[in-house]
Structure 1
């Protein structure tokens, strides 16, 4: 098969590219806003530098493709709160461009990277796909809009689509340097330097962390199946941020006091996924616990 990965030089996209390139022709399109060439330099893919906001380029790239994995996005909740316009342009207009180009180029299927942020802070746990969305940030709104565009393109035009709601993905190659970086790479790199991890809030907030190789598995199974719709992708277990920091310290053998800062706007309190739908319909089963995923991730950062 010939597959295109938008955002394929990014954290999740590059892991997906490595897995797919073993058996398929893979084209990566990425504007390198957050992606890095070093993530794919040793992966046998065709790289095209460009943005999902460039509709004509997408049509050229998608020609002759069997499927599109749409990973390209501005992914940070805090960044979207601070500056919503770029998030809207990339995540909503960009997704519409991807779907329209896929339709016009007769692509069979688009697998869209959505997010658990569409649920917002609804108190009911675990989160199921039939719950009413309640996004708390422009980022969450952008992902929900992308899902709705996917549904409409399926119903109106017959383009097969799947939206995967990722829950707190982590793993090797995740960038710890930005102020908008995810919590696990920040915790690991600070603890490895014997510095204090920083938690925004009281640390009792919980997340359902998902190892990146399980996310790759979900994407490939979603593409290969005939199933359409919205699916949670997670490990299906909660851990508090205090417990997460303690586990990383245990695995590294390094102890540092935790610094607590004021809670950030747009952050949710608790997160836990029901993954029965994707298990039953697509055959997804997570293979990595938080601990086993952290062991591989910590080893990668130690080798950098």
Structure 2
């Protein structure tokens, strides 16, 4: 899709990933970017600089994907939609009914509004959580869905609804399955924050970072800035009715991650290794690393940020907060 002069709606555009997507869009010759966000997780400070661009606007009447009338209103005249709004993994675990209302019913509302308003292109944010436990490494897009948590289930449902909407109404869409995303604007203090902020928070108060198990569990860590750039490339691509891994394809163990963070923070703290609880052992996913070949081939997407570079970017951002 040629986005030159086009009007793009970013749902969840004030959030962790969404705010960076807005920044990336404004680097192009896009005509207008509208941010739709309920600020449950997003923050106005994350989009302050973007709103200084005359092409960027914040929808003034709220921004919840459970509000069908508002969705239909904000989509009037839009050319394309990037849908990033969702409840996060551990939040879904504790509040599955709300997870259903937001991630599943909310996504259906977005799809329905896209069809009603003749949206030309949708980019849907899915997750590598759809894969569950790894059968093969790296995981290709054809990896079976072995998910066993509410968050992953909601993303599987979202993917299925995208396919059904494409088949029934011809909605042009592409879906992105994110690996472990980290970087500036990620919630650093909430109960549902990620592994990287948790480690940094410990080190900043001079407490040893804690690793469950022996630290051999490995993941694919990708900078949010690369993820944002992939969203724009997916919007511009010609492919439709396809899903893509968004990751580096590089395996990093939790032990290696922790050692790198300690090095970057110039800390002499020693890691505290903690045995798995039965609950941890039951839900722990080992070695989730995504194959990046399909995204490179079809979207021309390649990561620019190595893990060390991305962590330095995050640490610098934290120090200026």
Q: Compute the TM-score of the two structures, normalised by the length of structure 1.
A: 0.96
Query: Residue 246 of structure 2 corresponds to which residue in structure 1?
Result: 233
Contact 2:137 2:290 in 1 (8 A): yes
Equivalent residues in 2 for 1:172-251, closer than 5 Å: 172-228=184-240, 229-251=242-264
SS at 1:26 equivalent: strand
Gaps of 5+ in 2: 1-5
Q: Provide the rounded CA distance (Å) in 2 between the counterparts of 1:198 and 1:39.
A: 29
Per the alignment, residue 277 of structure 1 pairs with: 294
For 1:137 and 1:30, how far apart are their aligned partners in 2?
A: 25
Equivalent residues of 1:191, 1:255 under 8 A apart: no
Equivalent in 22, 25, 37 of residue 20 of structure 1: 25
Q: Residue 61 of structure 1 aligns with which residue?
A: 74
Match of 2:94 in 1: 82
8 Å CA contact 1:70, 1:112 repeated in 2: yes
Per the TM alignment, residue 132 of structure 1 is displaced from its structure 2 partner at its CA by 1.6
Match of 2:103 in 1: 91
2: CA distance, partners of 1:39 / 1:69: 17
Q: SS at 1:27's partner residue? A: strand
Dislocated runs of 4+, deviation >4 Å? none
Deviation at 1:80, TM superposition (A): 1.8
**Partner Cα separation in structure 2 for residue 240 and residue 102 of structure 1:** 40
SS in 1 for 2:232: helix
Distance 1:215 1:192 in 2: 27
Asked if residue 11 in structure 1 is aligned to residue 23 in structure 2, the reply is: no
Q: Report the 3-state secondary structure (helix = DSSP H, G, I; strand = E; otherwise coil) of the residue aligned with 2:36.
A: strand
- Measured after TM superposition, the shift of residue 197 of structure 1 is 1.9
Give a deviation string over 1:178-229, Cα, whole Å, max 9, x none: 1110111221232233222233343221110011111111111110112121
Tell me by how many angstroms 1:9 deviates. 0.9
Task: Output the CA distance in 2 between the equivalents of 1:41 and 1:259.
Answer: 39
Given that 1:81 and 1:266 are in contact with CA atoms closer than 8 Å, whether structure 2 keeps it comes out as: no
In the TM superposition, what is the alpha-carbon distance from 1:260 to its structure 2 partner? 3.8
Aligned twin of 1:38: 45
Indicate if the aligned counterparts of 2:134 and 2:286 stay in contact, CA closer than 8 A.
no
Deviates more, 1:84-93 or 1:18-27: 18-27
The match for 1:267 is 284
- Separation in 1 of the partners of 2:47 and 2:166? 31
- Structure 1 stretches lacking a partner, 5+ long: none
3-state SS, counterpart of residue 109 of structure 2:
helix
Structure 2: distance between partners of 1:259 and 1:175 = 23
Pick one of 178, 183, 198 that aligns with 1:166.
178
> Aligned ranges for residues 135-146 of structure 1 at < 5 Å?
135-146=147-158
Number of residues paired by the alignment?
Answer: 303
Of 80-89 and 219-228, deviating more is 80-89
- Measure how far apart 1:73 and its partner are: 0.2
